[in-house]
Amino acid sequence: MITEKAAGRTAQLSMSRGLTFLIALACGAVAANIYYAQPLVGLIGPDVGLNAHAYSLVVTLTQIGYGVGLVVLVPLGDIFENRRLIMVTLVACMAALLSASVASNVGLFLATSFVIGLSSVVVQMLVPFAAHLAPEESRGRVVGNVMSGLLLGILLARPVSSMTADLIGWRAMFAISAGVMLVLAVTLRLVLPERKPSASVPYLTLLRSMGQLLVSTPILRRRAFYHASLFGAFSLFWTGVPLILASPACGLSQGGIALFSLAAVLGAFAAPIAGRIADRGLTKPATAFAILTVVACFLLVFASGGHVVASLFVAALLLDIGVSFNLVLGQRAIFALGAEVRSRLNGLYMAIFFCGGAVGSAVASVVYATYGWAGIAWCGIAFPLLACLYYLTEMVPRRSAAS
Average pLDDT of the residues in 313-322: 88
Residue 27 has pLDDT above 90, yes or no: yes
Residue 169 confidence (pLDDT): 87
Average pLDDT of the residues in 280-298: 92
Residue 181 has pLDDT above 90, yes or no: yes
Residue 251 confidence (pLDDT): 74
pLDDT band at 143 (very low <50, low <70, confident <90, very high): confident
pLDDT band at 397 (very low <50, low <70, confident <90, very high): low
pLDDT band at 295 (very low <50, low <70, confident <90, very high): very high
Closest by CA position to 189, among listed 40, 7, 26? 26
Select the more confidently predicted residue: 248 or 290: 290
Average pLDDT of the residues in 43-48: 84
Whole-angstrom distance, CA of residue 226 vs CA of residue 222: 6
Residue 401 confidence (pLDDT): 42
256 Cβ neighbours under 8 A, 6+ residues apart: 245
Average pLDDT of the residues in 288-305: 87
Of 2.40.50.100, 1.10.3720.10, 2.60.120.10, 1.20.1250.20, which CATH number belongs to 201-403? 1.20.1250.20
Closest by CA position to 210, among listed 320, 92, 345? 345
> Where in the sequence of the chain do the CATH 1.20.1250.20 domains occur?
1-199, 201-403
pTM of the model: 0.74
pLDDT band at 324 (very low <50, low <70, confident <90, very high): confident
Percent of the chain with pLDDT over 70: 89
Whole-angstrom distance, CA of residue 209 vs CA of residue 242: 41
Select the more confidently predicted residue: 30 or 213: 30
Average pLDDT of the residues in 342-363: 81
CATH of domain 1-199: 1.20.1250.20
Closest by CA position to 311, among listed 298, 323, 321? 298
Closest by CA position to 130, among listed 264, 226, 22? 22
Residue 305 confidence (pLDDT): 62
Residue 7 confidence (pLDDT): 45
Residue 11 has pLDDT above 60, yes or no: no
Average pLDDT of the residues in 75-86: 88
Residue 14 confidence (pLDDT): 55
β-bridge mates for residue 3, sequence order: 196
Residue 399 has pLDDT above 60, yes or no: no
Residue 227 confidence (pLDDT): 93
Residue 308 confidence (pLDDT): 77
CA torsion sign for 310, 289, 29, 45 is negative
pLDDT band at 162 (very low <50, low <70, confident <90, very high): confident
Residue 336 has pLDDT above 50, yes or no: yes
Residue 403 has pLDDT above 50, yes or no: no
Of 228-237, 240-249, 350-359, 367-376, which has the strongest mean pLDDT?
228-237
Residue 275 has pLDDT above 60, yes or no: yes
Residue 263 confidence (pLDDT): 65
Instruction: Give the chain's mean pLDDT.
Output: 83
Residue 73 has pLDDT above 60, yes or no: yes
Residue 306 confidence (pLDDT): 58
pLDDT band at 2 (very low <50, low <70, confident <90, very high): very low
Of 144-158, 240-254, 311-325, which has the strongest mean pLDDT?
311-325
CA distances from 19 to 46, 253, 359 (A): 42, 40, 36
pLDDT band at 255 (very low <50, low <70, confident <90, very high): low
Residue 211 has pLDDT above 70, yes or no: yes
Output b/e per residue, 364-399; b: 16+ Cβ within 10 A. Answer: beebbeeebbebbbebbbebbbbbbeebeeeeeeee
Residue 42 has pLDDT above 80, yes or no: no
